Chains A and B, each alone.
Chain A
Amino acid sequence: MPRPDRSSTDRCDRTGSAAAGRRRLGLAAGLIATLAIAAASPVSSARSAPDPATQARLIHLLVQDCGSCHGLTLKGGLGAPLLPETLADRDAETLAAIILDGIPGTPMPPWRGLIGRDEALFLAETLKKGITP
């Protein structure tokens, strides 16, 4: 079986990586915007907001790992949707408690041990504001 000639593969590669580069830039801009909003918002009660590197890690966790059940765009999947309108009637403290302790009898696990209380509150507030993946 002849393989596709090298030149055709190269052409395809170039097209692909250029497009990926553009998307990466777009994604980075979106993330910076999200972080800027998060940093500018008031911090509730006595707690320390996670530093920017931790915030970036938490947003990544939210989109990628929470997203494996709740959907990459958080519109829901196995787990419930986590959009601002669906979370409007719950305060951040309640949501943070669900993140830390899970919901027994359902697939929502307790994240305590992997996520601290301040980090859970940051995630809850981020969800209530909404993120643009």
Chain B
Amino acid sequence: MTGFALPSRRSLLSAGLAAAAGATAPGIARADGCALRGTGDLGLVVERATGSLLLVETSGRSMLARIEGLGDLSHASLVFDRTERFAFVFGRDGGLTKVDLLTASVAKRVVQAGNAIGGAISDDGRLVAVSNYQPGGVRVFDTDTLEMVADVPAIDRRGAPSKTVGLVDLPFRTFAWSLLDGDEIWIGDFADPRAPKIARFPDIGRLPYDGVATSEGRWYVAGLFGEDALTRIDLWAETPKAEKVLVGYGKGEQPLPVYKMPHMEGWGAAGDLLLIPAVGRHEVLAVERDTFREAGRIAVHGQPVFCVARPDGRQVWVNYAHPANDTIEVIDVPSLKVVHAFRPGPAVLHLEFTPRGHEVWISVRDADRIDVHETRTFAKVGEIAAKSPSGIFFTPRAHRLGV
């Protein structure tokens, strides 16, 4: 590949990429020579209503191409492979699509289930796992061919199939997920994908709605919708077991109606703390990272959906559920105080930081717009037109565990 980087071979590179993509590449790899670039500042924005993605770049804050034909992308998410060239997109309709960022095109697509909710990619980049609502369970695919290599139905202890949620990658070709209806956590070792080893943790609490792994891969944590608690598993323990934490964090108060399920993705290392959306409350919980003891709670504008730590952990940016979903608040982690609030516009669905956190991109669904803000001054520094944008995903996710 190094030879391709020589200027005299540039046309060869373009021709090669175009051929790989079926010769009609509409994006940045073109036969006219504007092809050569890295992928570390690229990203994809989900246009949920139109089944399309925007290929964007964060250095110049611009849209490079629109990629179409991805099916129903409501609640869609995606992961990047370790080359930062390919993305795997998990559509609501069970579609699993491999997208080539260099050619801005669909490289491969299968419809693997009736109704899917998310997925993860293994640390070695060989396997992608998808979490399904219909027929439930988890299916695992080869990242080269999208051929299914493992099918793990989530049959709970009562013998009923369960929807799965909170699917994350763990070290050594392992994935963890939760059974929404079955109240279990499963951890699957796919070192040999044809003969996966599944560890089951039953009775972890009522209605786990999402799960997350901490960035070092030690803790898998499931949020519970049906109980005033969370459940965590210490994956470094000799004999891992499920343990309830933050029991009774709601202090027995009647929770408010929840119009949008919170997400647990984005809990990063905010120093020694994790900041967590409280379910059915206008609160963000701060907990000690090791003990999960409550370290404080922050009164906020509405019911939090995403609490996303800036990569350095100094700030956590929060968006809210309907009907407070026009607002973003910024929490300063050392003081646990809201230090900034603003209204980007109707239906703020997601936010994503640039790799080292100097800027943040915010999707404002009903304004058909992505806003870009500096995180030091909070000033708005750019905007990009997008049709009903939801999730924003930048390529450095490729190198993070548990996303």
Contacts and interface: CB of A to CB of B under 8 A. Distances in A.
Interface of A: 1-5, 7-9, 12-13, 15-17, 19-20, 23-24, 27, 60, 63-65, 67-69, 71-73, 75-78, 102, 105, 107, 109-111, 114, 133
Interface of B: 26-28, 30, 34, 36-38, 41, 48-50, 54, 57, 59-60, 62-66, 68, 72-75, 92-93, 104, 115, 117, 133-134, 163, 180, 207, 209, 225-226, 257-261, 322-323, 347, 365-366, 385, 387-388
Contacts of A3: 37, 57, 59-60
A4 B28 contact: yes
A65 B322 contact: yes
Nearest to A3: B60
A8 B25 CA distance: 13
12 contacts: A3-B59, A5-B34, A68-B260, A71-B92, A72-B49, A77-B75, A78-B180, A78-B209, A105-B226, A107-B258, A111-B257, A114-B259
B50 A72 contact: no
B65 A78 contact: no
Nearest to A110: B257
B37 A12 contact: no
Contact of B323 (A72, A102, A114): A114
A1 B63 contact: no
Chain B at the A interface: SS class: loop
Contacts of B133: 76-78
Nearest to A9: B62
A12 B26 contact: yes
A24 B59 CA distance: 29
Contacts of B209: 78, 107
B146 to A, nearest CB: 23
Given A65-B322, A76-B115, A12 B257 contact: no
B207 A107 contact: yes
Contact of A107 (B26, B60, B261): B261
Most B Cβ at <10 Å: residue of A69, A75, A77, A102: A77
Contact of B63 (A16, A60, A64, A71): A16
Given A3-B57, A12-B26, A17 B258 contact: no
Would you list the 8 A-B pairs with minimal beta carbon distance, nearest first? A72-B74, A109-B257, A16-B66, A8-B34, A12-B65, A3-B60, A110-B257, A20-B387
Contacts of A13: 63
Contacts of A110: 257
A122 to B, nearest CB: 18
Contacts of B207: 107
